[in-house]
Amino acid sequence: AVDNAGNVSLVLDHGIPFRLLSAAADADGDGVADTTDNCLLTANADQADFDGDGIGDACDLNAYNDASLDVFDQFPLNNGEWYDGDGDGIGDNSDSDSDNDGVLDDGDNCVSTANVDQADFDGDGLGDACDNDSDDDGVPNSLDAFPLDAARAADLDGDGVADDALPVDNCPAVPNPDQADSDNNGIGDACELGSLPLAVDDDVTTAEDTAVTFTVTGNDSDPDGNLDVTTTVSTTNPAHGALVNEGNGSFTYTPDANYSGSDSFSYAVCDSEGGCATALVNITIAPVNDAPVVGPISAPADPVAIQVMVNVTAVFTDVENGGTHTAVWDWGDGSTSSGTITYASGAGNVADSHTYSQPGVYTVLLTVTDNNGGWGQAEYQYIVVYDPNGGFITGAGQVISPDGA
């Protein structure tokens, strides 16, 4: 075949194609005829050929005929250099510190890897930074769980306990850095099937007369991971309250009315293999002050003349069963008094007297306060007071009398 430039392409019978070039042909258009162009398909009018191999620098894969092809050569114009490992602009062949770590190559145990400390654990003259087997135990660092310990290499579960050196990991496939072994049989609790669960005591606090719901299994565990919280049951009952099992490892405790102090009960929890453990729940019930309860006031039901002493009494109870109490009588005429208190074993009595100077209908209010600030009240309606010297009232009209008068 002949192209427009007069070049002839042939295929010989052995299958190798070649071209017969026309004297006027210039395939790359660089002004140099193809018959003399040292880069037929790459324009290079200067025909530079540094290494004199007949292939122009523009198309020569190794223009300086050094140890590296130009595409990888960091110094393509220097046939004595081709690589700069530390990137300092000085080729490694002439760089006295190839890894730029401050240690000259002739004394550096890792010439191409920076290692200022020159650490060499196995003392083989090859620094740890570039030594593929730093502890010289025959196991490459990439496969050695303990690259700086020649006595250990394997740690399948990565828990820091070796599988191939004493003491050997008692659960080689299950991480257990604590190596706990409750029954001392050489098999760690973390991987021993049939191990009993572990139940831990609990502390609970509530206030007097206040129910509390809590979970007891949150700090319990099972070495096999088979703890079944739905098996949780109480094995003893509290002495001073009621207990309800919520069925999910939780209980609700309601202290007895007005009880404060301590209480406790035991529970058991099992795993799916039938192993069980027990623990104690300690409950603290904080006291809450109960106010006195003041009972009815006893007072004269009939009208009382002015300047005549009125005697009143009232009872009260206080479940705290202790301490001291004060009482205040409000007589309804702007005056108050404290009265006399007697108290024992949770029950008390308040008595007092008063003389009214003006006729009227009076409401009497009694307030009893304990030494913790709790208080209770009772009211009496009504004490009717009249003036016997007031004479008679004549005329017509109506009288409105309040209830109880």
pLDDT at 395: 45
The rounded mean pLDDT for the chain is 86
Instruction: Give mean pLDDT, residues 158-186.
Output: 87
Strands 375-386 and 360-370: antiparallel
Instruction: Give mean pLDDT, residues 335-348.
Output: 92
Q: CATH 2.60.40.10 spans which residues of the chain?
A: 202-286, 293-386
Report residue 178's pLDDT band, with 50, 70 and 90 as the boundaries. very high
pLDDT at 284: 98
pLDDT at 9: 53
For residue 2, pLDDT beyond 90: no
Instruction: Give mean pLDDT, residues 85-112.
Output: 81
Asked if the peptide bond before residue 267 counts as cis, ω within 30 degrees of 0, the response is no
pTM over 0.75: no
Which residues are registered as beta bridge partners of 311?
353
Please tell me what DSSP assigns to residue 72. Answer: G
Among 64-73, 103-112, 248-257, the range scoring the smallest mean pLDDT is 64-73
Report residue 268's pLDDT band, with 50, 70 and 90 as the boundaries. very high
For 202-286, CATH number?
A: 2.60.40.10
pLDDT at 346: 87
Q: How far apart are CA 343 and CA 210, in angstroms?
A: 28
Report residue 16's pLDDT band, with 50, 70 and 90 as the boundaries. low
Q: Which residues of 334-373 are buried (b: 16+ CB within 10 A; e: fewer)?
A: eeeeebebebeeeebbbebebebeebebbebbbbbbbeee
What is the percent of the chain where pLDDT is above 70? 84
Q: Which CATH class is domain 293-386?
A: mainly beta
CA nearest 306: which of 186, 389, 245, 233? 389
pLDDT at 241: 98
Identify which has the larger pLDDT, 14 or 346: 346
Report residue 281's pLDDT band, with 50, 70 and 90 as the boundaries. very high
pLDDT at 248: 92
Identify which has the larger pLDDT, 261 or 14: 261
Q: Which residues of 169-178 are buried (b: 16+ CB within 10 A; e: fewer)?
A: bbbbebbbee
pLDDT at 60: 82
Among 61-70, 203-212, 221-230, 370-379, the range scoring the smallest mean pLDDT is 61-70
CA nearest 386: which of 311, 309, 303, 308? 303
pLDDT in tens, 108-127: 899 889 999 999 998 999 98
Report residue 160's pLDDT band, with 50, 70 and 90 as the boundaries. confident
Query: Strand runs (DSSP E) across 235-306, as ranges?
Result: 241-245, 250-255, 261-271, 276-286, 293-298, 304-305
pLDDT in tens, 358-371: 999 999 999 999 98
Instruction: Give mean pLDDT, residues 229-249.
Output: 96
SS3 349: strand
